[in-house]
Amino acid sequence: MQAVTESEQFDITGVVVRAKPEQLEPIRAQLAQLRGVEVHALNPAGNLVVTIEELDGEKLALDTLSQINQIPGVLATTLVYHHTGTESH
């Protein structure tokens, strides 16, 4: 009997979010509420390192970047990394 494997398409987008330093914590909290978004680091100068993960061909990155840019206190977002691949289960 042959094992059945499933493959999932995934995209990982790395972004630096530049924000007003005095609003870092509220911005971090709002980012955590967005689907597929994870904040990995931040510094007091106002930079946050963020990833956006998409599974099964969902194209969330552009919509999510737009949502991030709408958060009060966010000054800019810069795409720094993008990877597409498949993961077998």
Indicate which CATH number applies to the domain containing 35.
Answer: 3.30.70.920
| pLDDT computed for residue 5 by the predictor | 46
Residue 2 in any domain: the answer is no
Distance of alpha carbon 62 from alpha carbon 70, whole angstroms: 13
Residue 15 in any domain: the answer is yes
CB contact at 8 A, 53 and 34: no
Residue 1 in any domain: the answer is no
Q: What percent of the chain has pLDDT over 70?
A: 84
Mapping DSSP to helix (H, G, I), strand (E, B) and coil, where does residue 71 land?
coil
Containing structural domain, residue 40: 8-88
Distance of alpha carbon 73 from alpha carbon 56, whole angstroms: 32
Specify the number of domains making up the chain.
Answer: 1
pTM over 0.75: yes
Residue 3 in any domain: the answer is no
Q: How does pLDDT run across 52-68, given as a tens digit for each residue? A: 998 665 677 888 999 99
